Structure 1
Amino acid sequence: MTLETQAIRPVPFREVRHDQPDDCVHYEPVATRFAAMNWTIPMHCHEGLHQLQYLTEGSVQGRIDDRQVSGCAPVFFLMAPGSMHGFQYSHDAVGHQLTLPSATLARWLAQTPVLEQWLNGSFMLHPCAVQAERWRIGFEQIAEEFESAHPGRVQTLCALTTLMAVQAGRLYGAQAVGEKRYDTRDALARRFKALVELHYGKHWPLSDYAALLGVGQDHLSRACRKAWGLGALTVLNDRLLLQARRLLAYTPLSVSEIAEQLGYADSAYFSRVFRRGVGRTPSEYRVLAEQGIHSAD
């Protein structure tokens, strides 16, 4: 399968809300948009948006950032903000899609930072029969409520969407890291990663992040190593490199334009940083990405 990778741009919420401009979430059956596009969704991203998608029939294949993904129903996808994704669906695909502002989701999950962290990345899930039935019922309730004019409609949509997201986060967390307890160092690492997501393009020194978090740099790095097996500086640099790989693979921007967008005054220095982190020059990586090869990752 070949997915178009030219002229990638973020998709704002207003473009997916249709005729419900006051809703905090937007719902649509997958056939509403996908059939009109010949069941092929080109590579794109959503800045500041989370998208939940659940197929009850049919199959899908595609790419999320640098990962090839595929699955047959029942299958659940969560696309996090900024994550490049594109899919091709079978013509018999049936399912549901929810889109909501990431800030709204973060507000709902403010008291459960573990879930918020798990939902901060894109993933695919194959639910067991029990969970598949829960999601089928839940999404059908959302579909019915979205088309209604009942009192409390928005509150009900918020509650049901939160339930879908929480169930997805729990399942992903159980599969990705297993059931374990999180101590204060895990909480510190998650707070650091949230700050990195907001400010990585500003090239703050690690000392600035540590100062904002009220800890020393060594303490912060120990927390990150416990949570992810990586030092804090590596977490910061990896986020910059991830964005660089996305822009090289999915946009026509030149290397110098990408360097400038990522806050590098010198494109040659950016190229050296990229090669040191990825093992290839930006130009070499772009050629491989165009061929569908991501062995550098």
Structure 2
Amino acid sequence: MVSAFLPPVLGQSISETIIPDVKTTLNLFGMHLRKVSGEWDYPVHAHPQYEFNYVLEGEQLIIVNNHSYTQRAGDLVLLRPGDSHSSQSGNGKPFTYFCIHFDIDDKILISLLSRLNHVLFESDSTIAHKLGPVLSKLVEISKSIAGDITMSQRMRLQSAVFDLFAQLWEAFSIDAHLSSSTTYEKVELAHQIRSRLQGLVYQQFKLELPYDSHYGIDDIAAELGISASHCYRVFRQVFGMSPRVFLSEQMLHEAKVLLDDPSLSVSQISGILGYRDIAHFSRQFKRWYGKSPREYRGSTDE
């Protein structure tokens, strides 16, 4: 049973920092470290995941969507889902490379990956320079794996891959400001809006305000120094939904978590979420979910 997050009694906290929820699913596929001969020739193929391909030594000729790229030690290739590609030795000699296939449900990161227009990032590029040490760490972890992967190795791999994404974001932000910062700033602004919206969910626990009051989103826009219309427009462009719909989804999630705790009555939950009465909460929950809170509880007990 999921345990609900309950805030401390108002006035008891001396200081507090609310960390926005982190809800990201990462899947890693076909990760491998491989040394091949000069006769290596991998046929044309495509896959539904993203791929990082990193050459450690030697030279690889990789053909992506009928365009040829020569990849040398320290060079990084990023392939998008559906990219057709093949590879072979670039000079007829052996080479070593490391490869990761992945998918991730983080919309901001996917938005970033879709904006990286290059396939090949040479070793002296900002992105390859930032990602190189993390890729080397992944290589070392991979070398330690013999046979079945252990839980600690799996966690270290995932941790290093998330660090890889963090370095990629920072590198992209540097490049974006050196060229055109419009896209990066828009995505970063949308991320700030989302973080503050998640914070509003917890503020509902402390404020005696009904959910459907207009408190919150306009205030966020003002704090960020933008108009409410720009706030809505940027958020929708990046996440494909309005800030208010996103906030509703977050509130629905928290309501379901609380309803999954049998020690809490529906009346208590409506109060925790900031509703003026149980009827108001029940109507809102049914608009979100199509069932009343009690009907939801009944369906999860089946």
Structure-2-length-normalised TM-score: 0.44
Please tell me whether Structure 1 or Structure 2 has the larger radius of gyration of its CA atoms: 2
Which one has a larger percent helix, Structure 1 or Structure 2?
1
Structure-1-length-normalised TM-score: 0.45
